[in-house]
Chains A and B, each alone.
Chain A
Amino acid sequence: MVGLLAAALLLYPIVFSGAFYRDIGVAFLLAAISASAWNVVGGYAGQVSVGHSMFFGLGAYAPLLLYTLWGWPPLVGLPVGILLSVVLAVVIGLPTFRLSGHYFSMATLAVAELIRIFFGAWPLVGGAIGLQGPAVARGWWDLTFRGDLSYYYIFLAVLGLLLVVTFEVERRRFGFYLRATKASERAARSLGVPVRLTKLKALALSATFTSAAGSLYAVKTGFIDPDSGFGILVSVQMVIVAALGGAGTLFGPLVGAMILIPLQTAANTWFGGGGSGLTFIIYGGIIVLIARFEPGGLHELWRRLAPRLWRRAHAA
Chain B
Amino acid sequence: MILLQVIVGGLLLGAIYALFSSGLTLIWGMMNFINFAHGEFVMLGMYVTLLVVLHVGGGPIGFGAVAALALFALGVGLYFVLIRHVLRGPMLSQILSTFGLALLLRYTAFFIFSANFVSLPPTVLAGTLNVGGIFLPVAQLVAGIVAVVLTMALHFLLTRTTIGSRLLAVAEDRSAAMLMGIRPDRMQALAWGLSAGAAGVAGALLATAYPWSPSVGETFGLIAFVTVALGGFGSVLGSLYAGLIIGLIQAISAFWLGPIYKDIVVYGLFVALLWLRPQGLMGKA
Contacts and interface: CB of A to CB of B under 8 A. Distances in A.
Interface in B139-153: none
Interface string B229-258: 100000000000000000000000000000
B226 interface: yes
Nearest to B110: A277
B264 A106 contact: no
B104 to A, nearest CB: 3
Interface string A49-71: 01000000000000000000000
Contacts of A50: 36, 95, 99
Contacts of B101: 284, 288
A99 interface: yes
- Place the interface of chain A in its size category: 35 or more
A100 interface: yes
Contact of A48 (B28, B91, B110, B268): B91
B92 A103 contact: no
B268 A114 contact: yes
Nearest to A247: B92
A247 to B, nearest CB: 6
Contacts of B95: 48, 50, 101-102, 105
Contacts of A118: 264
B98 to A, nearest CB: 8
Nearest to A248: B92
Contacts of B36: 50, 105, 109
B100 A287 contact: yes
Contact of A285 (B34, B100, B110, B267): B100
Given A95-B278, A117-B260, 13 more contacts: A43-B92, A47-B91, A48-B96, A91-B271, A110-B226, A114-B270, A280-B107, A281-B107, A284-B102, A284-B106, A287-B100, A288-B97, A290-B96
Contact of A281 (B94, B104, B226, B278): B104
Nearest to A48: B95
A280 B278 contact: no
Interface in A222-276: 232, 236, 239, 243, 247
A110 B226 CA distance: 9
Interface of B: 28, 32-34, 36, 82, 85-86, 89-97, 99-108, 110-111, 218, 222, 225-226, 229, 260-261, 263-264, 267-268, 270-271, 274-275, 278
A153 interface: no
A74 B270 CA distance: 33
A281 B94 CA distance: 19
Nearest to A128: B260
A214 B85 CA distance: 36
A111 B103 contact: no
Interface of A: 42-43, 46-48, 50, 91-92, 94-96, 98-103, 105-107, 109-111, 113-114, 117-118, 120-121, 232, 236, 239, 243, 247, 277-278, 280-281, 283-292, 295
A141 to B, nearest CB: 35
A284 B222 contact: no
A277 B274 contact: no
B260 A288 contact: no
B92 A46 contact: yes
Contacts of A291: 82, 86, 89, 92-94, 96-97, 100
A169 B121 CA distance: 60
A283 B273 CA distance: 32
Contacts of A91: 271
* List of 5 A-B pairs having minimum Cβ-Cβ separation, nearest first: A287-B100, A284-B103, A284-B104, A114-B267, A291-B97
A94 B278 CA distance: 12
A223 B106 CA distance: 27
Contacts of A287: 96-97, 99-100, 103
Contacts of A117: 260, 263-264, 267
A103 B111 contact: no
B82 A295 contact: no
A137 to B, nearest CB: 36
Given A48-B96, A105-B34, A105-B95, A292 B103 contact: no
A96 B278 CA distance: 8
A121 B264 contact: yes
Contacts of A292: 82, 85-86, 93, 97
A243 B270 CA distance: 28
Contacts of B267: 110-111, 113-114, 117
Contact of A288 (B28, B89, B100, B278): B100
Contacts of B271: 91-92, 107, 110-111, 114
Contacts of B278: 95-96, 98-99, 103
A248 to B, nearest CB: 8
